[in-house]
């Protein structure tokens, strides 16, 4: 009888440990997914800001260009077509 009670307590303890470990893992999984999403968002914002800075520089440069040769005119027209 005593052995049976000891085994029942041990089983309960192991079940409790399993439930806690499962909950910890689920929390870890959710937290990791959230951190990955946040990191991706931050990276996207950073890249977009950097890209806009470069694009603004191109815009300023293009506004001050007055092509003098046929080759410069072609380059300018190519840039204007993608802009």
How much is the pTM?
0.56
- CA dihedral 43→45→46→51, nearest 10 degrees, is 120
In the predicted structure, residue 76 carries a pLDDT above the cut 90? no
What would the mean pLDDT of 58-72 be, rounded to a whole number? Answer: 84
Q: Which of 45, 23, 26, 22 is nearest to 34 (CA)?
A: 26
Q: Which pLDDT value is given to residue 83? A: 62
What would the mean pLDDT of 72-83 be, rounded to a whole number? Answer: 82
Q: Which of 45, 46, 65, 66 is nearest to 57 (CA)?
A: 65
What would the mean pLDDT of 19-45 be, rounded to a whole number? Answer: 97
In the predicted structure, residue 82 carries a pLDDT above the cut 80? no
Q: Which pLDDT value is given to residue 29? A: 98
């Amino acid at each position: 009888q005593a052995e049976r009670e000891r085994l029942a307590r041990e089983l309960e303890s192991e079940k409790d440990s399993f439930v806690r470990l499962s909950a910890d893992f689920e929390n870890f999984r959710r937290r990791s997914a959230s951190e990955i999403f946040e990191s991706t968002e931050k990276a996207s914002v950073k890249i977009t800001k950097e890209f806009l800075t470069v694009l603004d520089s191109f815009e300023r440069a293009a506004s001050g260009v007055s092509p003098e040769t046929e080759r410069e005119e072609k380059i300018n027209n190519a840039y204007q077509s993608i802009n």
